[in-house]
C-alpha cells in the first residue's frame, strides 16, 4: 500500500487523547470542501484518504454494499490500522468504502455522512444534510440550512490581503458576481448569461462602482463569452480554471460590498451568506431562463414523477434563505437588516462532538471487514 496517498493533518491544539479522524476524499470538489471544513473545525487529528476509483466504482454504492471493490487499493490511501475513531464521508460512491472502514475498525468507530446518503439512514451514526435533499426528521439526521464550508473571518482576512491590490484600480463599491451554470432544472446558457450580465451592469452603474466576476467549473464557454460581451461597467473578470492559486473567488467574497450569486449553486450561496454581506440571488430556473435545455426539461419530469432519491429540489433551499432574510431575488428589495450567517458548521461540530462523547449503542453492527 502506498502511504503517499495519505494526507495527515495534526492541529497544534489536538491532545494525545483526541479522536483520530479519517476523511474519505470526495470525488466532487464541493463534497471534499464540506468534509474538510468539518474535519478542520473539529480540531482533531485527521487523515485524508485519497482514493483511486475504478470505472465501475458506482456499482457497490448502488447496491449499498460494504466493499472496497470500487477502488484500486494499490493506488489509494492505506486502509489499515491504526483504525480511526471517526470516518467522514460524502457521495454514493464513497459509502461502501466508509462502511468497510467502520466495520473493520469495530464498534468504537462512528460514521458521519455529509449530504444525502444512498443507503438507509440507519447505516450512519449521523447524516448532515440540507433542505434540497428532503430527508426525513430523524434523530441521526442534522437538518442544516446550507452546506459546510471554510469561509470564516481568518479565510476572508487572508484573501482580502492577497487580492485587494489586484482590484485597487477599480472604483468602489465592489459588487461580486459568482456565476454557476446549468444544473438540474436550472439552465445558464448564453441567453441567460447575457441577461445576468445586463442586470449586473444596471446595478453597478447605479452605484458608480465595479463588478468583480468569477465563473465556475459548471459555467459553459458560451455563457462565459456572453457575460464578457455584455458587460459595459468597470469589471474584473476571471474565467474559471482548475488552478486554485490563481482563482480570486475568496478574494471576491472578502472585498465585495455586496454579492450576486446564481441560484443553481448551493455552495456558493452558502459561502456568500457566510460573509454577512447583502446577497442577491439570480434566478435561472423554470420560467426564468432564456435558454432551452432538454436535460432541464427531463429533470423537471423526474422531480415530478420519479423517486425523491433521484433528484434534489433547490427551491426548498431558496425558500429557507428567503424566509431567513439572508438573500433576496436579484432586482427585489433586500431585507432591512442582513441576517447573520447560518451557524451550520458550528451546529455540525456540536453534533459530532456529542456523538463521539456518547456511549456506543448496544445494537451497533460491528465486525471485521470483508
| pLDDT tier, 1 (very low <50, low <70, confident <90, very high otherwise) | very low
pLDDT at 242: 80
Instruction: For domain 3-144+346-357, give its CATH number from 3.20.20, 3.40.50, 3.30.450, 1.20.1080.
Output: 3.40.50
Residue 138, all three cell numbers: 430523524
pLDDT at 241: 86
Pair 41, 114: CB distance under 8 Å: no
Q: 71: exposed, middle or buried (C-beta count within 10 Å: 0-12, 13-18, 19+)?
A: buried
pLDDT at 195: 98
Pair 273, 340: CB distance under 8 Å: no
Pair 270, 169: CB distance under 8 Å: no
Mind listing the pLDDT tens digit for each residue in 304-339? 999 988 999 999 999 999 999 999 999 998 876 656
Pair 309, 118: CB distance under 8 Å: yes
| pLDDT tier, 98 (very low <50, low <70, confident <90, very high otherwise) | very high
pLDDT at 370: 37
Give yes or no for residue 366 having a pLDDT over 70: no
| pLDDT tier, 341 (very low <50, low <70, confident <90, very high otherwise) | confident
Q: How many CA atoms lie within 13 A of 221 on its CB side?
A: 0
In whole angstroms, how far apart are CA 78 and each of 4, 26, 74, 184, 241?
9, 16, 9, 36, 30
Domain definitions of the chain by residue range: 3-144+346-357, 153-341
Choose between 34 and 370: higher pLDDT: 34
pLDDT at 367: 40
| pLDDT tier, 13 (very low <50, low <70, confident <90, very high otherwise) | low
In this chain, the answer to whether the domains covering 3-144+346-357 and 153-341 adopt an identical fold is yes
The length of the chain is: 370
Alpha helices in the chain (DSSP H): 29-42, 58-62, 95-105, 153-167, 190-207, 221-230, 249-255, 266-274, 294-305, 314-323, 344-357
Which class would CATH give 153-341? alpha beta
Residue-wise over 253-278: b if at least 16 C-beta within 10 A, else e? bbbbebbbbbbbbbbbbbbbbbbeeb
Averaged pLDDT, 147-154 = 94
pTM of the model: 0.89
**What H or E segment, with its residue span, contains residue 6?**
strand 6-9
Averaged pLDDT, 69-88 = 94
Give yes or no for residue 110 having a pLDDT over 60: yes
| pLDDT tier, 2 (very low <50, low <70, confident <90, very high otherwise) | very low
Give yes or no for residue 368 having a pLDDT over 50: no
Q: What are the beta bridge partners of residue 76?
A: none
pLDDT > 70: percent of the chain: 92
Range with top average pLDDT, 21-30, 41-50, 236-245 = 41-50
CA distance 200 to 330: 9
| pLDDT tier, 6 (very low <50, low <70, confident <90, very high otherwise) | confident
Pair 263, 231: CB distance under 8 Å: no
Q: What angle do CA 270, 271, 275 make, to 5 degrees?
A: 115
Averaged pLDDT, 77-90 = 95
Amino acid at each position: 500500500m502506498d502511504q503517499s496517498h495519505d494526507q495527515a493533518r495534526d492541529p497544534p491544539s489536538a491532545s494525545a487523547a483526541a479522536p483520530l479522524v479519517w476523511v474519505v476524499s470526495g470525488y466532487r470538489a464541493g463534497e471534499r470542501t464540506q468534509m474538510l471544513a468539518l474535519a478542520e473545525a473539529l480540531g482533531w487529528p485527521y487523515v485524508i484518504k485519497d482514493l483511486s476509483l475504478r470505472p465501475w466504482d458506482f456499482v457497490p454504492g448502488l447496491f449499498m454494499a460494504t466493499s472496497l471493490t470500487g477502488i484500486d487499493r494499490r493506488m489509494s490511501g492505506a486502509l489499515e490500522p491504526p483504525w480511526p475513531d471517526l470516518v467522514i464521508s460524502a457521495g454514493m460512491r464513497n459509502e461502501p468504502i466508509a462502511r468497510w472502514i467502520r466495520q473493520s475498525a469495530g464498534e468504537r468507530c462512528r460514521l458521519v455522512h455529509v449530504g444525502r446518503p444512498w443507503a438507509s439512514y440507519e447505516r450512519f451514526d449521523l447524516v448532515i444534510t440540507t433542505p434540497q435533499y428532503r430527508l426525513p426528521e430523524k434523530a441521526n439526521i442534522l437538518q442544516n440550512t446550507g452546506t459546510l464550508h471554510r469561509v470564516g473571518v481568518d479565510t476572508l482576512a487572508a484573501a482580502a490581503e492577497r487580492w485587494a491590490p489586484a482590484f485597487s484600480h477599480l472604483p468602489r463599491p465592489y459588487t461580486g458576481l459568482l456565476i454557476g451554470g446549468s444544473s438540474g432544472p436550472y439552465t445558464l446558457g448564453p441567453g441567460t448569461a447575457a441577461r445576468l450580465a445586463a442586470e449586473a451592469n444596471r446595478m453597478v452603474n447605479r452605484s458608480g462602482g465595479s463588478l468583480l466576476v468569477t465563473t465556475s467549473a459548471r459555467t459553459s464557454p458560451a455563457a462565459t463569452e456572453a457575460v464578457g460581451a455584455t458587460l459595459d461597467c468597470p469589471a474584473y473578470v476571471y474565467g474559471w480554471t482548475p488552478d486554485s492559486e490563481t482563482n480570486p473567488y475568496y478574494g471576491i467574497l472578502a472585498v465585495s460590498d455586496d454579492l450576486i450569486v446564481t441560484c443553481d449553486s448551493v455552495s456558493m450561496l452558502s459561502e456568500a451568506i457566510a460573509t454577512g454581506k447583502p446577497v442577491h440571488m439570480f434566478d435561472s430556473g423554470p420560467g426564468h431562463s432564456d435558454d432551452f435545455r432538454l436535460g432541464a426539461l427531463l429533470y423537471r419530469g423526474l422531480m415530478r414523477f420519479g423517486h425523491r432519491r433521484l433528484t434534489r429540489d433547490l427551491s426548498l433551499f431558496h425558500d429557507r434563505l428567503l424566509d431567513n432574510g439572508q438573500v433576496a431575488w436579484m432586482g427585489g428589495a433586500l431585507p432591512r437588516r442582513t441576517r447573520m450567517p447560518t451557524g451550520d458548521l458550528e451546529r455540525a461540530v456540536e453534533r459530532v462532538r456529542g456523538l463521539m462523547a456518547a456511549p456506543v449503542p448496544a445494537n451497533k453492527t460491528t465486525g471485521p471487514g470483508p
